[in-house]
Structures are given as C-alpha cells and as structure tokens.
Homo-oligomer: A and B are copies of this chain.
Amino acid sequence: MSESSGIKAPSRRAFLKAAAASVPVAAVAGTAHADDPLITEVQEWASGLGAGVDETPYGLPIQYEGDVIRRTVEWLTADQISSINFTPIHALDGTITPQGCAFERHHSGAIELKKEDYRLMINGLVDQPLVFTYEDLERFPRENHVYFCECAANTGMEWAGAQLNGAQYTHGMIHNMEYTGVSLRTLLEEAGLDAAGDLKDKWVYVEGADASSNGRSIPMEKALDDCLVAFKANGEALRMEHGYPVRLCVPGWEGNMWVKWLRRIEVTEAAVESREETSKYTDTLADGTSRKWTWEMDAKSIITSPSPQMPIKHGKGPLVITGLAWSGRGAITRVDVSKDGGKTWETARLAKPGEKMALSRFYLDTTWDGEEMFLQARAMDETGYVQPTKDELREVRGENSIYHNNSIQTWWVQPNGEADNVEVS
C-alpha cells in the first residue's frame, strides 16, 4: 500500500458537480488519515482463516447487524399473538424486503402447516367445487411479480398527533417481495365460473386456515384481475409467519386481504360482511359515520434515512436523503422532498422507473448546511394522485380513524443530526 502516505480528505470535487450548486461546499468529516492503523498495520482479519463453507447451511445476518430486526410496540396490543411487528425499514435500502425481517400481523398467531396437510378448497357459485393439494397447485402455470403488502393500520397511531419515534414504527407495516404463484383467475376458471352467471356483481370470499379464520370479500373484478395464490417469496418458500405454504396476494390492496394459510375461496352472490370488514378495517370519519371497502392503499412515502433511528452522524456536507414510495393504484411517477416542512420542494431521483404495486426507492443527493431541517417526502402516482398533508387528510377524515393514514410525515432534524417525529402546519 505504497500510496498511504498521500492520503488526504476527499476533495468532493466530482461529487459536488452533481450536487445542488447553491448549497455550501463542505468537506467530508471522519475520513481516515495516513497514520490510521487500519491502513498501516496488518489486521486480524487479513492474517488468518475465516469461516468455512460448511458452517452455515442457511445463513443469518452478521452479529453487527443484530439491531436490524422486526420490533414490536408492547402497548399497542393486548398480547403478542393477535398483534403486529414492524419491518426495520430505516436500516434497509433498495426495495426488496428479506422475509426474515418483513413485518408480521397475525390475528391468532403464526401456525405451522405442512405442505402434505395443506388443502385449498374452491366452492360456492362454481360449476365444479374443487380441492387442491399443494402439489396440485404446482401443476398450474406460474407467475412472478414484485408487490408491496401494507397493513391498513400502517401509520395508524399518528392520526391524533406524532406518536412513535422512528420510521420502523410509523411506517414499518410494509414489505415488498418477489412472489411466485398461480393466478387466482386460473384456479377460479378451473372450477368453472359459469354457475356464477353474470360475474359483474359477484364476489370471492377468501379464508385462512388459522384459528382466526381471517376472511375477506373481494369483488370478482379484482379477483380475476391480478390476485395471486402465492407459494414462494423472494425465490424460496413462504416463511411460516408469511403464510406457509400458501398465501393470497391482492396487489395494492390492504394487507388484511392478503390471507395467509389460504384454505378456502368461495364464489358468492354478495360480500360476506365478515368481522374483518365491518367491525375492523373500516374508517371512522369526522362525523362519526364509518366508510368501508377502502381496499386500495393510497400513494404514500416515507424518508427512511435520515430519521429518528438513523440520525446524521457525519455532520454537514454531502448527505443522501432516501426513502420509499408506493401506491395501490399503480406505479410511482415522482417523489418530492422538502427540507422546510413543505414550503419548498426538490424532486428526488427514483432508483428505477416505478413499477405497479411495488415499492420505489428514492434518493435526494444533497448537501447539508448543518441547520435544522423539517424533512418531508411527497409521492405521486401514475393516476395523478398526490400524497396529502396531515391537515388535508384530517379535513376529510377527522382524527378517529385507525386505517389508511397516508399523509405526509415530518422528521425534525436538529443541528446535532438527531431526528424526531413532529407535526408542522
């Protein structure tokens, strides 16, 4: 390493060409110097053998990433069985969510159901009621799609004011995976939909095999459009907590409809009006009435870093602001970022063009002047919908809802780099 004596702080020259020209130039703090023993001395890891290839047939994250885990909020639910945990979105990048840290929501706990014991029934208004084994499902044509799954209650604690201090807790009831499965349409057609007559007003009721029998009604149009009976996520079998061996994907629609351990699909004349679509998963409005059938997840975004769990530690100068955006109505087309609580906006860079019903990653490559910021992100989707402010949403919805809070989030970044969940208006 003959050049070590010449090491200096990065010039930032090339980087700053790409950054906003109006932002003050600042050197990167914390760059190693020529006398850094990590450069000048032989390190332990370079002087001996590491772990062999037979040591971890199935690997887990390295110990130093032990804080990047699903977390619960104890006071949120009466117990940990009918409860929720949260994806550590603050610490992730890209768009794929590993199954191991993807949020869980159960109504009666995650069950262990062997493939050999799995059965899927299609009944109701079909020519031929059918029962499929897991192996039967594998014989139909398969599809692959990346979809986000968001719990309708994501951000639900924030209706009455800023509550939870971290993107993981305010927005972590979401994950995004590549699913493999058979289209629901294929299975419904296999059972014969002739008996249903005019399909326009018919419904499909989907039900899980766990003790809660979580069941939801889906309009036939959606059932025949893009619903997927999935058995793999991110290439491998669904994890137990994500519905092994088979779950339903209802792209863009609230997570409660993505029934896990899917055991029954009934074609019905009308919606079942189950517990999970009447007493739950409806939205109480300002006037005390409730609205139902709010299936689609409205366009939404969240800055994952910096954020309360991801403070700025490097001081002023070059800063990457990043986050996630999504819409249940199609592809994300644009994300804007504000540093002043929504007064002015800059358009962020999407890592790749938005894809329907999948997370988009956005970046704003900027320079921080070391002053406080009120960071916001605002998503727009291909329908022209623009993510609303908290005030705009409350004007329509009041403060008594739990579900479908897709309002703009604000992180107050202080000069010391720490961030807090706040509201601005």
Interfacial residues, chain A to chain B (CB-CB below 8 A): 1-4, 6-8, 10-15, 18, 28, 30-33, 36, 38-39, 43, 45-65, 68-72, 79-81, 83-85, 91-101, 104-106, 108-115, 117, 119, 121, 123-124, 128-133, 135-136, 138-144, 178-180, 186, 189-192, 209-211, 213, 231-232, 234-237, 239-241, 244, 261, 264, 266, 313-314, 317-320, 322, 349, 351-352, 361, 363, 365
Contacts and interface: CB of A to CB of B under 8 A. Distances in A.
Contacts of A234: 94, 96, 98, 234
B136 A31 contact: yes
Nearest to A193: B14
Given A11-B192, A123-B1, A363-B141, A50 B109 contact: yes
A119 B3 CA distance: 14
21 contacts: A1-B123, A15-B186, A30-B133, A38-B117, A38-B119, A51-B240, A54-B80, A59-B99, A59-B239, A60-B60, A62-B112, A62-B237, A64-B115, A65-B244, A91-B237, A96-B96, A98-B235, A136-B314, A139-B318, A141-B365, A234-B234
B351 A143 contact: yes
Dominant SS among interface residues on chain A:
loop
B139 A319 contact: yes
Nearest to A233: B94
B52 A79 contact: yes
Contacts of A239: 59-62
Given A112-B50, A142-B93, A261-B45, A36 B131 contact: yes
B363 A14 contact: no
